[in-house]
């Protein structure tokens, strides 16, 4: 098996092995998927044939598959879970009638009833049970699904094999009895849909489940016509989190009403912006940034988990931060994009993989456990345990071992307590805050829908995004002004390309977006109306201007590109607040 050298210009993929090990490596997604299989197959525990599954997909990919990495829907920054298989698993797969391809059923028969043989149906339909409506042939959207750990599914877990390729034109309604036992073989990730992820006792039309639909439903709870005094948020940019805590802890603060954001400068004077949408977008962006940097989180900037802070527990800061995140998401804000997979799974009630030593945030304890783990004899392990006695005693894991198996058990139990057990109170409090506006309930029903918003890194803006975002208000065709405006639009688009390629000082496309709209990216539900570009023909108007409430960007007129570039950059960089650049 020839394993290629890691490419310098590739995209990162995370590979999660059954033992909990997580490896991050670059791949070129246009390469054959065999390159990925060769890399995974070099693990000493690898089976001859194995399966991989992307975190948000319900389809497993067998190591005998062909095509490129991207052909199988694997995107940059994806997390791939590995499942080793045995020869017996493969034999069962090819002999089990559940997995044998069936000929298309007569559509007239299917539309009137669904006949499942005892072998094909692990559950017995009864009319008293909730119904799941399958997508039609015209709406092939997959069921929202997160499969973090295949080990969490047992032979007692109800499963349904959903195959949307040969569905009839009309929806099929299957009544599901989750209590009926069955003796079918344990399902593989590609064969199952975990009904707990779509909510028990509810009827779900699968092709209607997407992020925009859910956010619109949550946002419908907000009454934009009322704005009580208690909802005024006086914001000092240097201490966003404290100002937000002052507001949301008011007894009459109402998250279901409109927010009234007032920015105050260092001299405690209002910045002069009336909140008609722009200040709120600016505030929610800054609030999410402050939440990301708060002391209730720890770890990598893009992979953060909860940190244990006893003062935060006493002051219910975890609940307040959860409430802030809910406000940001539902009030036309943006998602966190920094949750670790474990934190996201815990919040959503999805089974997590075993904790690993690498996830332990305390450097001293992590190094001590690694030393115990790497001990090759019982004597060496006990010596390492003695050195770590103080740390192990604090977490209730101090015990000496009589075998290397007991050594592994000690390390695993210590890691589980540090990563999961000791944070239980903080996690419960944080979850309580996320219940605001019904956000947590929807996350637990549809974790796969919210995965990108909470876990995956946000896609960087591109020049073409801003070019297509704004509607340009031109003067009449043939006028003198129109000729100048045409030239200015060319300058604008050239400048965006320069910024994307890093050729315009410290300017970024996100900073331009913030100046024009108050948001650093397009919110999940979009803007209330399409942003516009106007032009400053008046003499002396050499810098850009923006109205973030009306979402209007006004470009100055400059004959030479270099002058346009200079004044646009200086104007935006020197304008941290609302108003004229």
Active site members: 549
Whole-angstrom distance, CA of residue 198 vs CA of residue 162: 14
Q: Where are the beta strands (DSSP E) in 284-347?
A: 297-300, 303-306
Selection from 30, 43, 113, 44 nearest residue 74 by Cα: 30
CA dist 264 and 81 (Å) reads 48
Residue partners of 92: CB distance under 8 A and separation at least 6: 185
Do the Cβ atoms of 520 and 510 come closer than 8 Å? yes
Compute the distance between CA of residue 547 and CA of residue 445 in angstroms, rounded to an integer: 38
| CA neighbours closer than 13 Å in the CB half-sphere of residue 301 | 4
Cβ neighbourhood burial of 319 (10 Å; 0-12, 13-18, 19+): buried
Give which of 235, 227, 280 is closest to 252, Cα–Cα. 227
Kind and range of the H or E run holding 324:
helix 317-330
Nearest Cα neighbor of 137 from 231, 237, 206, 90 is 206
Find how far residue 151's CA is from the centre of its chain. Answer: 23
Q: 22: which strand partners?
A: 16
Sign, CA dihedral 170-175-178-183, equals: negative
Residue 111: other Cβ atoms inside 10 A: 14
What distances in angstroms separate CA 389 from CA 26, 133, 235, 337, one per listed residue?
39, 56, 48, 38
């Amino acid at each position: 098996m020839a394993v290629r050298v890691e490419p310098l210009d590739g995209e990162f993929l995370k590979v999660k092995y059954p033992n909990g090990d997580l490896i991050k490596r670059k791949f070129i997604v246009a390469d054959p998927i065999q390159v990925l299989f060769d890399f995974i197959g070099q693990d000493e525990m690898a089976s001859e044939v194995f399966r991989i599954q992307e975190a948000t997909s319900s389809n497993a990919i067998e190591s005998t598959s062909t095509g490129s990495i991207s052909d199988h829907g694997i995107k940059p920054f994806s997390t791939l879970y590995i499942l080793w298989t045995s020869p017996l698993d493969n034999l069962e797969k090819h002999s089990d009638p559940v997995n044998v391809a069936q000929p298309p059923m007569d559509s007239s028969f299917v539309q009137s009833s669904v006949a499942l043989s005892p072998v094909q149906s692990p559950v017995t339909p009864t009319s008293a049970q909730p119904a799941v409506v399958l997508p039609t042939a015209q709406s092939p959207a997959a069921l929202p699904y997160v499969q973090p750990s295949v080990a969490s599914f047992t032979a007692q877990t109800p499963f349904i094999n959903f195959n949307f390729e040969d569905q009839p034109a009309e929806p099929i309604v299957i009544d599901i009895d989750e209590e009926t036992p069955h003796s079918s073989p344990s399902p593989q990730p590609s064969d199952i849909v975990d009904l707990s992820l779509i909510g028990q006792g509810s009827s779900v039309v699968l092709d209607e489940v997407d992020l925009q639909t859910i956010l619109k439903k949550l946002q419908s709870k907000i009454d934009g016509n009322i704005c009580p005094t208690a909802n005024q948020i006086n914001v000092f940019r240097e201490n966003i989190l404290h100002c937000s805590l002052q507001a949301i802890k008011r007894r009459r603060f109402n998250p279901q009403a409109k927010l009234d954001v007032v920015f105050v400068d260092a001299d405690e004077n209002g910045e002069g912006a009336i909140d008609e949408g722009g200040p709120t977008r600016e505030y929610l962006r800054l609030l999410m940034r402050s939440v990301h940097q708060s002391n209730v989180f720890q770890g990598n900037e893009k992979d953060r988990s909860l940190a244990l802070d006893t003062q935060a527990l006493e002051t219910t800061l975890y609940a307040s931060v959860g409430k802030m995140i809910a406000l940001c998401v539902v009030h036309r804000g943006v998602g966190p994009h920094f949750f670790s997979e474990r934190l996201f799974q815990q919040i959503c009630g999805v089974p997590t993989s075993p904790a690993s030593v690498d996830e332990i945030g305390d450097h001293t304890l992590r190094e001590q456990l690694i030393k115990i783990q790497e001990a090759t004899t019982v004597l060496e392990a006990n010596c390492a345990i003695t050195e770590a006695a103080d740390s192990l005693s604090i977490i209730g894991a101090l015990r000496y071992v009589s075998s290397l198996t007991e050594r592994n058990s000690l390390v695993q139990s210590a890691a589980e307590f540090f990563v999961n057990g000791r944070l239980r109170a903080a996690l419960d409090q944080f979850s309580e805050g996320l219940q605001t506006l019904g956000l947590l309930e929807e996350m637990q029903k549809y974790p796969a829908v919210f995965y990108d918003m909470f876990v995956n890194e946000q896609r960087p803006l591109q020049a073409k995004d801003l070019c297509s975002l704004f509607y340009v208000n031109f003067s009449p065709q043939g006028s003198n002004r129109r000729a100048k405006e045409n030239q200015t639009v060319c300058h604008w688009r050239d400048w965006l390309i320069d910024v994307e390629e890093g050729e315009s000082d410290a300017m970024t496309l996100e900073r331009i977006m913030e100046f024009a709209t108050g948001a650093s990216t397009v919110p999940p539900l979009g803007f209330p109306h399409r942003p516009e570009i106007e032009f400053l023909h008046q003499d002396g108007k050499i810098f850009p201007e923006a109205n973030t409430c009306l979402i209007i960007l006004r470009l100055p007129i400059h004959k030479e590109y270099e002058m346009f570039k200079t004044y646009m950059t200086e104007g935006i960089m020197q304008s941290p607040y609302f108003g004229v650049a």
